Structure 1
Amino acid sequence: MDMIHVDTLAALAHPHRLALFRLLVRRYPDAVPAGELAEALDVRQNTLSAYLSSLRHAGLIEQRRIGRSLLYRVDMNRTAGLLAFLTEDCCRGRPDLCAPRAVHPVEGGKPMPDRTLNVLFICTGNSARSIFAESLLRHIAGDRFTAYSAGTTPYSELNPFAVELLKAKGHDIAPLRAKTVAEFQGPDAPKMDFVFTVCDRAANEACPPWPGQPISAHWGMPDPVKAKGTEAEQRLAFQQAYAGLKNRITAFTALPFDSLDRVSLQRRVDDLARDTETL
Structure 2
Amino acid sequence: MEKDICLRLSTLGHPQRLAVFQLLMRRYPDRVPAGEIGSALDVKSSTLSSYLSALLQAGLVTKTREGTWLYYQADIGGIRETLDTLLFDCCRGRPDLCQPAWLDPKPEDTSMKDTHYNVLFICTGNSARSIFAESLLRTIGGERFNVYSAGTKPSSELNPFAIEVLRSKGHDVDSLRAKNVNEFMDEAAPKFDFVFTVCNRAANEECPAWEGQPISGHWGMLDPVKSEGSDAERSLAFQQTYGTLKNRIQAFAALPIAELDQISLQKAVDDIALNY
Q: Shorter-chain TM-score category?
A: over 0.9
Offset, 1:257: 1.2
4+ aligned runs moved over 4 Å, structure 1: 104-111
SS for the counterpart of 2:195 is strand
* Residue 235 (structure 1) aligns with: 235
SS for the counterpart of 2:259 is coil
**CA offset digits 1:243-262 (Å, max 9, x no partner):** 00000000001111121111
* Residue 148 (structure 1) aligns with: 148
Identical columns (%): 60
**CA offset digits 1:122-173 (Å, max 9, x no partner):** 0000000000000000010110101100000154320000001100110000
> How many residue pairs are counted as aligned between the two chains?
276
Q: Distance in 2 between matches of 1:98 and 1:108?
A: 22
Residues 1-279 of structure 1 aligned to structure 2 (within 5 Å) = 2-103=2-103, 112-153=112-153, 155-276=155-276
TM-score (norm 1): 0.95
Kindly indicate whether the alpha-carbon contact (under 8 Å) linking 1:135 and 1:171 is maintained by their aligned counterparts in 2: yes
Q: Distance in 1 between matches of 2:166 and 2:106?
A: 35
Unmatched runs of 5 consecutive residues or more in structure 1: none
Q: Distance in 2 between matches of 1:137 and 1:105?
A: 29
Q: Distance in 2 between matches of 1:11 and 1:108?
A: 40
TM-score (norm 2): 0.96
Q: Which amino acid aligns with 2:217?
A: A
Offset, 1:108: 11
Q: Distance in 1 between matches of 2:239 and 2:127?
A: 14
Kindly indicate whether the alpha-carbon contact (under 8 Å) linking 1:56 and 1:62 is maintained by their aligned counterparts in 2: yes
Unmatched runs of 5 consecutive residues or more in structure 2: none
Q: Distance in 2 between matches of 1:165 and 1:264?
A: 34
Q: What is the aligned-residue RMSD (CA, Å)?
A: 1.8
Q: Distance in 2 between matches of 1:249 and 1:134?
A: 9
Q: Distance in 2 between matches of 1:191 and 1:26?
A: 20
Offset, 1:110: 8.0
Q: Which amino acid aligns with 2:40?
A: A
More helix by share: 2
Q: Which amino acid aligns with 2:113?
A: P
Q: Which amino acid aligns with 1:185?
A: M
**CA offset digits 1:170-212 (Å, max 9, x no partner):** 0000111000111111100011000000000000001221011
Q: Distance in 2 between matches of 1:27 and 1:219?
A: 9
Kindly indicate whether the alpha-carbon contact (under 8 Å) linking 2:126 and 2:156 is maintained by their aligned counterparts in 1: no
